[in-house]
Structure 1
Amino acid sequence: MFTVRRAALASTLLLTMALSACNSTDDATSESTGQAAASTVATTDCPSGAPDTSATPAWEFSGATGAIAVIAPTDDAAPGVEVTTPFSVDETTVQTLEPASGAIVEDTATVSVCYLGVNGRDGSVFDSSYERGAPAEFPLDGVVTGFQKAIAGQNVGATVAVAMTSADGYPQGNPQAGIQQGDTLVFVIEILGAEG
């Protein structure tokens, strides 16, 4: 029951974020958007192992209230975000956790990513492609502003984290995902590929 509910919540969030596809191999979705599947997309799954809690955080950040400590993903383990609640920011902040030398991601590119989304208010995970074990693919000009700010201008292959204001996330909240008006959101994002 919990797994079904989590999957339904993830699907709802992806739709709310206006993601055009949930899997880089979905040819029907690619055809309906008029775009070919990204040619630089990795075919590997998102690692679903538990975060390495003994690892040194790749990013520690104190907000206007609270703080976060972000553990980067590995080949076998999902990322982790430890939150001192309530965590909030007055300005969206992006941190590169693992740099890369791939192509620069344009602000209108279609990207393939593995990602984890955490609510700063209570530290809960509200969406995770790592839990689903598969990357998501979507056009950057179809997602919330903070997600776009985190990815555009980065290099393919990089892993980034973003702490986004409510204004750059869901200013009115998103009750289906448990996001209230004013919530700061934290994402950890592995950029697997980009096209366009």
Structure 2
Amino acid sequence: MFDLPATADATTPAASPCPSAAPATPGAPEWTLSGATGSIAVTGSTDTAAPVVDVQGPFSVTETQVQTLKAGDGPVVPETATVSVCYMGVNGRDGSVFDSSYQSGSPVDFPLDGVIPGFQKAIAGQKVGSTVAVAMTSADGYAEGQPAAGIQKGDTLIFAIKILEASN
């Protein structure tokens, strides 16, 4: 057997809810933010492309900020929900991607009460189906750093997140 190239038409579902390919043309950012230092421009994911987080750094914020890039039409996500999401995490210090479910093409499930505070702040209160971005302070991320991920103490983190499902 051999794999045939995929063809896209109105009846073909996307291969993955977390597309790994960067967009051919990112288009205009859905969120731009000037920080205490530096700035970011975020373009959310689509059905066929991963998000783009452009960092002019070093980027930092003094207060965690959440932006809805595309509002969903599902139920509101409670603070204690278990969610299924696609996400990309970017370090504001150097613009590097330190973690991404888009790279694997598979969503990740986790309880919101078991994640870093900034991630919970970004998702709780949003509607299922929404695409959101968050720029979080070090205190809402990894206050003491996360060396294995290249995160240093004091680093501001940016996440682009697509909320696929939520359950209690």
Give the structure-1-normalised TM-score: 0.77
Question: Structure 2: which amino acid aligns with 1:65?
Answer: T
Matched position secondary structure for 2:79: coil
Rate the CA distance shift 1:54–1:79 in 2: closer, same or farther, 3 A.
closer
What residue in structure 2 maps to residue 61 of structure 1? Answer: 33
Rate the CA distance shift 1:52–1:87 in 2: closer, same or farther, 3 A.
farther
Question: Structure 1: which amino acid aligns with 2:58?
Answer: P
**Which residues of 2 match residues 97-112 of structure 1 at below 5 A?**
97-112=69-84
Matched position secondary structure for 2:113: helix
* Runs of 4+ in structure 1 over 6 Å off: none
Contact 2:21 2:49 in 1 (8 A): yes
What residue in structure 1 maps to residue 87 of structure 2? Answer: 115
Give the structure-2-normalised TM-score: 0.89
Contact 1:164 1:186 in 2 (8 A): yes
Q: Partners of 1:147 and 1:132 in 2: how far apart?
A: 20
What residue in structure 1 maps to residue 98 of structure 2? Answer: 126
What residue in structure 1 maps to residue 50 of structure 2? Answer: 78
Q: Partners of 2:152 and 2:25 in 1: how far apart?
A: 28
Q: Which has the higher strand share?
A: 2
| Cα offset, 1:50, TM superposition | 1.1
Q: Which moved more, 1:45-54 or 1:136-145?
A: 45-54
Matched position secondary structure for 1:117: strand
| Cα offset, 1:124, TM superposition | 0.2
What is the aligned length? 154
Q: Partners of 1:109 and 1:177 in 2: how far apart?
A: 26
Contact 1:53 1:71 in 2 (8 A): no
| Cα offset, 1:90, TM superposition | 0.1
Deviation per CA, 1:129-168: give whole Å up to 9, x if none: 0001100000000000000000000000000000000000
**Which residues of 2 match residues 8-157 of structure 1 at below 5 A?**
44-157=16-129
Q: Partners of 2:105 and 2:63 in 1: how far apart?
A: 31
Alignment gaps of 5+ in structure 2? 1-14
Contact 1:51 1:71 in 2 (8 A): no
Rate the CA distance shift 1:187–1:52 in 2: closer, same or farther, 3 A.
farther
Q: Partners of 1:109 and 1:53 in 2: how far apart?
A: 35
RMSD (Å), alpha carbons = 1.2
Q: Which has the higher helix share?
A: 1
